[in-house]
Amino acid sequence: MKNKAFFILIFLSFSVLSQNKRNRILSIIDQEIEEVTRLSRQFNGQNPNMLFRRSELYLEKGRLIKEEENNKYLSLSPNQRKSVSKSSYFRGSQGLFLKAKSEALNLLRKFPKYEKASDVYYILGFNEKEFGDGVKALDYLVKAEKMAPAGSKSQVRIQNALAEIYYNKKDYPRAIEFYERNIKKTSDRWWTKDAYNLAWSNFRLRRFDRAIELMKKVESLSKTGKYVDMTASVNKDIGLFYAESGRMEEGVKHYKNYNKDFTLELITIASFLKESGKFAQAMTTLNEALKISKTNKNRAKIYLVRMDLFDKYEKINYHLKDSVSLYKLTKNHKLTKDQYDIFKHQVKKQIGKLQKKIGNKTYQSSKVVTNEKVNQVVKYLTLLKGLEPQTKNDNHFYMAETYYQASQFDRAIENYLKGFKIAKKTGNKKTMDRSMDGMLQALAQPKGKFPNRSKYYYPVYTTYLKYDPRSNKAKEIYKKLYKIEYDKKNITEMKKILGTFSKTFPNARTDSDKMINSLVELYTKQKKDGDLAMLMKDIKTGKYQMSATGKKGLADVAQKLDVKKAEGLLAKKDYKQAKQAYLKIFSSPGSKVAKANAAYNLMVLNYKDQKLQETYNWGRNSLNLMDDKEFFKYRNTFLSVGKYLFERLQFSSSADLSHRSYAKLCKTQVRTKKDFYNNAVTMYKASRQVEKLKSLRNSANKCNIDSKSIMITDKEIVDYYISSNNIPALEQYFRKAESNRELTPYLIDPAFKIYAYYQKQNNQSRLRQWQMKIEQLYRDSKSRRLKVPVAGLDAVSKFDVARLKDELKRIKGFRLAFPEDRFTSLLDQKIQKLDKLQENVARVQKMGANYGVAHSYPVLIEGYESLIQEIETFNPPGKSPEYVKSFKQTMGQVTAQLKQKVQNFKALGAKAIKDNEILSTYQGSSSTSVYNVFDDMKFYDAERSGR
C-alpha cells in the first residue's frame, strides 16, 4: 500500500488541461500536501519520504500554477505586456518552485544517504528547469542520472528529462542520444510523447527520414489507446517534416489518408516555412495546396499567402496575376475583413513600390521597362478602383503621380490638372491639394528635366489661385509668379503682384520685404531714383506692406545715398552744404555707423568753424554712437578737441569728452587712456565737479589706471572737500582714500581737519577716535619711511605740544615749601621734571613740525621762568632775617643759572624756527600756493580733417 501510494511521479504535459480540470487537480494537490504534512507528523518529521513527496507536490503544483500564469500573461496585448513586470505574473509558481527546492535541499541535508537521492536530484533539476536556469537543471539531472539505478524507472525519466533539456538547448545530438536510450522500450504509455520529441530532434538535425519514421510510429501507436495520444500534434507537424524534406508529394499523400480537406494544414505549413525564410518550400507547399483546394475560402487564403511571397520575391507579374485571380474570386466569395484589408494593402503596396521604381534612375534609363511598370500600375489602379470604389475619382491623380515618378512631367501635369478638375467638382479637397502639390513639384523641376515647364506656369498657377487665393500654398504661388516676372524684369507685373500680395497677405512682411527689395534692386540697377522714391512713398503710405527690419534696410539704402552726397560736398569743400547733408543723415533713420560718422564729421566741421558748444555736442553724439573699436582709430582727434575746448575754458565740455573717451579706451592698454583720465581729473577739479571726479575715480581700478594717478584723484577729492569745508563728506570719503596706502602721510592733515570739526562739537568719543587715527597714520608713514607733509606734522605735533603743556601744568602744580630739607627736595624734583620736559621738547623739535618747533620751546621757557619766579618770591617762614638773607643769596645763584638756561632756550627756539623756515601762520605770515593745471595736461593736435 505504502509503496503504491508513493512515487507516482509523472510529469505530464499540462498544456492540454482545461482551467476547470487544472483547478480540480490543484485542489487535489493541496489535499495531498496537507495529508503528507499530517503523515510526516506521525513520523515526527523523521521520514525522508515525506519530505521527498512534499517537494514533488510543490513542484507539481508550481508547474500547474505556472501554466495558468502563463495563460494570463499571454492574454495581455503586446503593449500591456511591455508595461507590466513579467515576474509579477509568475510570483505564485516561483514561490512554489522555491518551496520544492527548499524541501529537496533540506531532505538531502538531513538524510545525506537517502536511498532515492537520484529522484531528489531529479526534482531539483526539474525545478531549476522551471526557474529557467538550464545550467543548474542540467547539473542536477546529470547527477541524478549517475545515481539512478541502472534500468530503473527513475533512470528512464531522468534520461528523458535530460533529453528534453538538451532539446531546448538546441543540442539535438545529445537530445537524441538520451531519447534513444529508452526509445526501444515501447511499453511505457509516454513513449509516444518521448518519440515525438525525438522526431523533432531528428528534424532539427535535418534527419528527415528518421523524423518522419518516428512521427508515423507515434501516430499509429497513439491510435491504439494504450499510449498518450499525440495524434493532433503529429497531424499538425508531419506536413512540415515532409515539406522541409522536399517530400511534399509524400506529405500530400499522407494527408490524403486522413480523408479530409487538409488545405489548411498545408497553408499553415507554408506560413511556417515562410516565417522561417524558406520561401521556395513555402511556395511549393502552396502550389500543392492550390492544386487540391476545393473551396474558394481556402483558395483565397492561398492567394493571399502567395501574394505575400511574390511580394517578398519581387515577382510583380505573378503578384499581379494572383491579385487579378483573387479579385475575380471575390465576385463569388466574400473575403473576411482582415483578408480584404490585406488584399488592399498588397495592391497599394505594389502601386507604391512600382511608383518608387518608376522614379528610380536605373529604371528610367530604359523606357520599355518604365512603360511596363507604368502599365502595371494602371492595372493595379484598376483593381484598386474595384476594391475601393471611392478612389475612382483619384485615378488621374494616381496616374499623374506615376508619370511624375517616371519623370514624364508633361503627362503628369496634364493628369494632375484633370484630376484637380474632377476633384474640384466632387469637392475632394485632399486630392485637389495633393494634385496641386504634384503640379507645383513638377514645375519646380529644372528646365533640363522638364523643358516645357514654362508652358504650364500660367495654367497651373492661375488654376490654383482661382481655387485658393488665400492659403499658404497660394502665398507660395504668388511668390513663384513674382519670381517669374522678376526674371523677366517685368516691373509693371511685379508691382501688380506685389500689390495683390500685400493686400491678400498683409502680414507676410518677410515675403513682401523680399519682393520690394528685388524691386529696389531693379530700380537701383536701372538707376530709376524717381521710381525708387515713389516706391518709398508707397511704402510709407502703406500701399505695400513692409516689416520694420525691411523698412530699416530700406532706410540704409537711402542713407547710403545721403552719405555719398555728403562726401561729395566735403570733397567740393562745400562745408555748409556738407553740414546740412550730415545733419540729414544723422536725423534720418539708418545705420548707427553712418550716424556716428555723420556726428563725427559734424564735430570736426564745427571745430573748424570754432563753434565750441556744437563741437562738444557733436563730439558727444559721435562718442555715443561710435563703438570702441571705431573710436580707437580716432582717439587722437578727440584728445585734440578736448585740448581745444579746455584752452577756451570749456572745462566741463572738455572734461566730459575726456571722460567719455577714457571710458571707450577702458579695456585697452594705450597711453592715451591715462591722458584722457588725467585730463578729466584736472578739468573736473577745475570745474569743481566732485561727483564726476568720484565717478571717474570709481572706474579707475576697473580700467587699470596706475596707482599714482588714482592717488592724485583721491587727493583731489579730499582737497576738494577740505576746500569746500564739507567735513562730513570728507569723513565719508576718508575711508575710501585711506585704502590707498600711498596716501597715508597726506591724510594726516585731513584727519586733523575732521578732528577739529569734532573738537568744535566737543564730541569726545570721535575726538579720541580721530586722535588715534592721526597718530596711527603718522606711525604708519614713519615705519614705511614716507614723507609726511608739514601740515601733517603740525597736526601730530599739536598733540605733542598739548602733552608738554600738561607736563608743565603738573610741574607748576606743586609749590616749594619749608622746612629747608623739604624745600631742597621739592626744588630738586621741579628741576628734574623740567629736565624731563626739556628732553620731551627736544623730541618734538626733532620731529620738525612747524607747530611743534614754534610751540615747544615756549612751554619749556615758561616752565623755567615760573620756577625762577617762585624761588625769587619764596620767603622761608619763621626764619631769622639772616637766615632769609643767606637763603636768598643762595637762591639767587640758582635763579641766575636758571635764567641763563631760559636765555639759551629762547635763542634755540628762534634758531629752530628759522632753521625750519616756518612760514606758517604761527609767525603771522601766509601765502597761497599757485596751482597750474596746465602743467599736468597732455594734448595732441587734433586731426582736423573729416573722415
Partner 1 sequence: MLKKILLIITFISFLGNANSKLERNIKYAYSKGMRYSLVPLLKEYIYLSKGNLKSMERYLEKIILTVGAKNFEGLDISLLQRGNSSVSKYLAAKKIFAEGEYEKAGSLFKSISSGSIFYPFSRNYLAVLSYLQKDYSKALSLYKTCVETSKSRLDKNLSTRVYKQIKVNRDICIAGIARTYYAQRNFKKADYNYLDLDKRSIAWPPTLLEEAWSSYYGENYNRTLGKLVTYKAPQLKFITNPEIYVLRATTYLRMCLYGDVNKVVEDFYSRLEKTAKKSESIAKQYKNNPDYYYQLVRNYQNESDKEFYYFLKGIYKSPNVKSFFDNIKYAERERKKLSKIQSSNLKGLLSRNIDEFIKIQKKVIGLVAETKVEKYGIDLRKSFQTMSYIKLEVLGRKKEALYEGKEEASKRGEIKYLKRNDRQYFWTFNKEFWSDELGDYVFALPVECPDEK
C-beta of 223: minimal distance to partner 1 in Å? Answer: 16
Interacting span for partner 1 (CB under 8 A) from 11-19, 473-481, 717-725, 777-785: 11-19
Site for partner 1 in 461-500 (CB under 8 A): none
* Terminal C-alpha separation, the chain: 124
Distance from C-alpha of 602 to C-alpha of 615, rounded to nearest angstrom:
8
Looking only at residues 640 through 679 of this chain, which bind partner 1 when binding is defined by CB under 8 A? none
| Nearest CB to partner 1, comparing residues 3 and 362 | 3
Smallest distance, partner 1 to C-beta of residue 25, A? 5
CB count within 10 Å of CB 768 equals 12
d(CA 598, CA 519): 29
Nearer to partner 1, 7 or 279 (CB): 7
Which of the ranges 4-12, 844-852, 885-893, 908-916 carries the binding residues for partner 1, by CB under 8 A? 4-12
Closest CB to partner 1 among residues 66, 855: 66
Residue 32 CB, nearest distance to partner 1 (Å)? Answer: 5
Interface stretch with partner 1, choices 7-15, 446-454, 462-470, 485-493 (CB under 8 A): 7-15
Query: For residues 61 and 479, which CB has a smaller minimum distance to partner 1 in the complex?
Result: 61
User: What's the burial of 83, exposed, middle or buried (CB within 10 Å: 0-12/13-18/19+)?
Assistant: exposed
CB of 154 to partner 1, least distance (A): 18
The binder of partner 1 chosen from 10, 150, 548, 930 (CB under 8 A): 10
Min CB(179)–partner 1 separation in Å:
22
Of 27 and 824, which has the nearer Cβ to partner 1? 27
4 binds partner 1, rule: CB under 8 A:
yes
Q: Which residues contact 454 (CB under 8 A, 6 or more apart)?
A: none
> How near is the Cβ of 111 to partner 1 at its closest, in Å?
18
The answer to whether the CB of 539 falls within 8 A of the CB of 551 is: yes
Output 28 or 571, the one with its CB closest to partner 1.
28
Taking CB under 8 A as the rule, does residue 225 contact partner 1? Answer: no
In the bound state with partner 1, the residue whose beta carbon lies nearer, of 41 and 392, is 41
**Nearer to partner 1 (CB atom), residue 33 or residue 387:** 33
Which residue number, 36 or 554, has a Cβ lying nearer to partner 1?
36
| Three-state SS annotation for 74-87 | HCCCHHHHHHCCHH
**Residue 819: is the preceding peptide bond cis (ω within 30°)?**
yes
Q: Of the two residues 62 and 619, which places its CB atom closer to partner 1 in the complex?
A: 62
> Does residue 720 contact residue 690 with C-beta atoms inside 8 Å?
yes
Nearest to 263 by CA among 237, 297, 305, 298: 298
* Amino acid letter, residue 39: L
The number of CA neighbours under 13 Å toward the Cβ of 492 is 0
Kindly report the length of the chain. 947
Cβ proximity to partner 1: between 17 and 561 the closer is: 17
According to CB under 8 A, which residues from 250 to 309 bind partner 1? none
Nearest approach in angstroms of CB 346 to partner 1 is 43
Taking the complex as a whole, the smallest distance from the CB of residue 39 to partner 1 amounts, in Å, to: 4
CB of 43 to partner 1, least distance (A): 7
232 binds partner 1 per the rule CB under 8 A? no
**Residue placing its CB nearer to partner 1 in the complex, 22 or 736:** 22
**Interface with partner 1 (CB under 8 A), residue from 8, 74, 135, 150:** 8
The interface region with partner 1, picked from 8-16, 317-325, 392-400, 747-755 by CB under 8 A, is: 8-16
- Measured CA to CA, the distance from residue 62 to residue 49 in angstroms comes to 20
Q: Which is nearer to partner 1, 5 or 84 (CB)?
A: 5
Cα→Cα distances 395→389, 689, 858, Å: 11, 89, 129
Q: How many CB atoms lie within 10 A of CB 825?
A: 12
Alpha-carbon Rg for the chain in angstroms = 59
Q: How far is the CB of 24 from partner 1 (least distance, A)?
A: 6
Q: Which is nearer to partner 1, 33 or 604 (CB)?
A: 33
Instruction: Answer yes or no whether residue 6 interacts with partner 1 by CB under 8 A.
Output: yes
The nearest distance, CB 63 to partner 1, in angstroms, is: 12
The CB-of-175 to partner 1 minimum distance in angstroms stands at 25
Cell of 8: 507516482
**Which residue's entry shows cell 615758561?**
862
CA separation for the pair 664, 644 (Å, rounded): 20
Q: Does 67 bind partner 1 (CB under 8 A)?
A: no
Number of residues engaging partner 1 in binding (CB under 8 A): 24
Closer to partner 1 at the Cβ: 36 or 546?
36
Site string for partner 1, 12-51 (x = CB under 8 A): x---xx---x--xx--xx-xx--xx-xx--xx--------
Which of 228/248 has CB closer to partner 1?
Answer: 228
Nearest distance, CB of residue 306 and partner 1, angstroms = 39
Angle formed at CA 53 by CA 48 and CA 55, multiple of 5 degrees: 95
Q: Which residues contact 660 (CB under 8 A, 6 or more apart)?
A: 620, 623
Q: Which range of residues in 1-9, 87-95, 276-284, 694-702 is near partner 1 by CB under 8 A?
A: 1-9
Q: How far is the CB of 10 from partner 1 (least distance, A)?
A: 7
Q: Which is nearer to partner 1, 27 or 704 (CB)?
A: 27
What is the phi/psi pair of residue 361, to 5°?
-60, -35
Alpha helices per DSSP H over 542-634: 548-571, 575-587, 592-608, 612-625, 628-633
Select 3 or 723, whichever has its Cβ closest to partner 1: 3
Across 207-227, b (16+ Cβ under 10 Å) vs e yields bbeebbebbebbbebbeeeeb
d(CA 123, CA 117): 10
Dist CA 442 CA 396 (whole Å): 15
> Rounded to the nearest whole angstrom, what is the least distance from the CB of residue 292 to partner 1 in the complex?
33
CA angle, corner 612, sides to 609 and 613, nearest 5? Answer: 120
CB of 18 to partner 1, least distance (A): 10
Angle at 128 between CA 127 and CA 133, to 5 degrees: 155
Nearest in space to 220 (alpha carbons), one of 203, 201, 237, 234? 234
Residue 740 CA to residue 738 CA, distance in Å, equals 5
Measured from the CB of residue 49, what is the shortest distance to partner 1 in angstroms? Answer: 10
Q: How many CB atoms lie within 10 A of CB 741?
A: 12
Least distance (Å) between residue 105 CB and partner 1: 23
What phi and psi, each to the nearest 5 degrees, are found at residue 703? Answer: -90, 10
Residues 97/130, Cβ–Cβ less than 8 Å = yes
Distance CA 476, CA 480 (A): 6
**Cell numbers placing 266:** 498545408
Which grid cell is 911? 634758531
- 527 backbone dihedrals φ, ψ, rounded to 5°: 55, 40
Nearest-5° angle of CA 326, CA 331, CA 336? 65
Contacts with partner 1 by CB under 8 A lie at: 1-2, 4-6, 8, 10, 12, 16-17, 21, 24-25, 28-29, 31-32, 35-36, 38-39, 42-43, 53
